[in-house]
């Protein structure tokens, strides 16, 4: 693949065992998708081929807001990147036989998804009194990790409270580690979940065990969170959800949305 062989960075990543795939030219930029056993990342190759840029490519001129996240559109069809929601055990099993990632949930009645957030199992980080924004995330999703890192200054400044709602959507990509990571986070006190998430991410990068005891009942809590995520229409991670003044849901998908979220909650 020319994009790899012409880039020293990508050549090095390939030599370290990363599986790299050219996913095409979009908006004049060559995109390469990289995958290791525990992580994945999209790389954008500079015109001279000597460097790459990691991150999310946005097209803010797109009339359809759902198509502004170019990276999400480019990677949606790659197995393991965006989990497929399967209603019921049989549907999930059928998808898994096809090699497709699936988040399995039980059938739920059509209800106001926002009202279900009161029943979610979450960890909260931020100053009391700040607007609450729910973050639905997979603990091992690199976009979720990046999204949380971007939020930290706003959290520290008292502008936001983040209710961390862990789910597991990438098990087919990481051999079930997402479920173990999510259950680990659900096994610590809510006020400790953010720090536990950092610990899980660091342990994963070092290929070490999480070092967090998994409590009985965390599997039920995880299933509850999955059902709520489906009711909210979550399709990818991270998804941010908040209640707007008119009672409807405000949402943002992906990283890079801190300023938009702050404006939406009046901060």
| Domain edge (last residue) among 26, 54, 75 | 75
My answer on whether 123 and 234 are in the same domain is yes
* Each residue's pLDDT tens digit, 2-54: 556 667 777 877 777 778 888 888 877 888 888 776 567 788 888 777 778 87
176: left (phi over 0), alpha (psi -120 to 50) or beta: left
Structural domain includes residue 8: yes
My answer on whether 138 and 246 are in the same domain is yes
Structural domain includes residue 83: no
CATH number of the structural domain spanning residue 191:
3.40.30.10
My answer on whether 70 and 169 are in the same domain is no
Structural domain includes residue 147: yes
> What is the residue range of 166's domain?
112-264
CATH number of the structural domain spanning residue 53:
3.10.450.70
- B/e letters for 51-78, b = 16+ CB within 10 Å, e = fewer, are ebeeebbbeeeeeeeeebbbbbebbeeb
My answer on whether 65 and 126 are in the same domain is no
- Note if the bond before 223 is cis, omega within 30 degrees: no
Kindly tell me if the per-residue pLDDT of 122 is higher than 90. yes
- Strands laid side by side in the 19-26 sheet: 19-26, 29-35, 40-45, 52-54
Structural domain includes residue 92: no
Q: What is the pLDDT of residue 231?
A: 78
Number of structural domains (the chain) is: 2
Q: Cβ(134)–Cβ(114) under 8 Å?
A: no
My answer on whether 238 and 188 are in the same domain is yes
CA neighbours closer than 13 Å in the CB half-sphere of residue 192: 10
- Over pLDDT 90: what percentage of the chain? 35
């Amino acid at each position: 693949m020319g994009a790899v062989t012409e880039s020293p960075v990508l050549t090095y990543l390939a030599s370290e065992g990363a599986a790299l795939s050219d996913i095409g030219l979009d908006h004049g930029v060559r995109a390469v998708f990289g995958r290791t056993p525990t992580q994945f990342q999209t790389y954008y190759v500079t015109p001279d081929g000597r460097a790459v840029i990691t991150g999310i490519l946005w097209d803010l001129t797109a009339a359809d807001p759902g198509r502004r996240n170019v990276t999400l559109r480019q990677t949606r069809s790659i197995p393991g990147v965006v989990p497929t929601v399967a209603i019921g055990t049989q549907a999930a099993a059928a998808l898994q036989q096809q090699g497709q990632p699936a988040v399995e949930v039980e059938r739920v009645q059509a209800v106001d998804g926002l009202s279900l957030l009161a029943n979610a199992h979450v960890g909260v980080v931020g100053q009391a009194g700040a607007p609450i924004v729910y973050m639905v995330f997979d603990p091992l999703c690199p976009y979720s990790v990046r999204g949380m890192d971007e939020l930290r200054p706003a959290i520290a400044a008292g502008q936001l409270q983040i209710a961390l709602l862990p789910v597991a959507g990438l098990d087919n990509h990481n051999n079930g580690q997402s479920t173990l990571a999510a259950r680990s986070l659900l096994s610590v006190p809510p006020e400790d979940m953010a720090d536990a998430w950092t610990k899980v991410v660091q342990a994963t990068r070092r290929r070490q065990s999480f070092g967090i005891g998994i409590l009985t009942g965390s599997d039920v809590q995880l299933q509850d969170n999955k059902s709520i995520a489906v009711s909210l229409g979550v399709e990818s991670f991270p998804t941010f959800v908040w209640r707007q003044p008119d009672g409807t849901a405000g949402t943002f998908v992906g990283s890079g949305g801190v300023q938009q979220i702050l404006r939406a909650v009046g901060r």
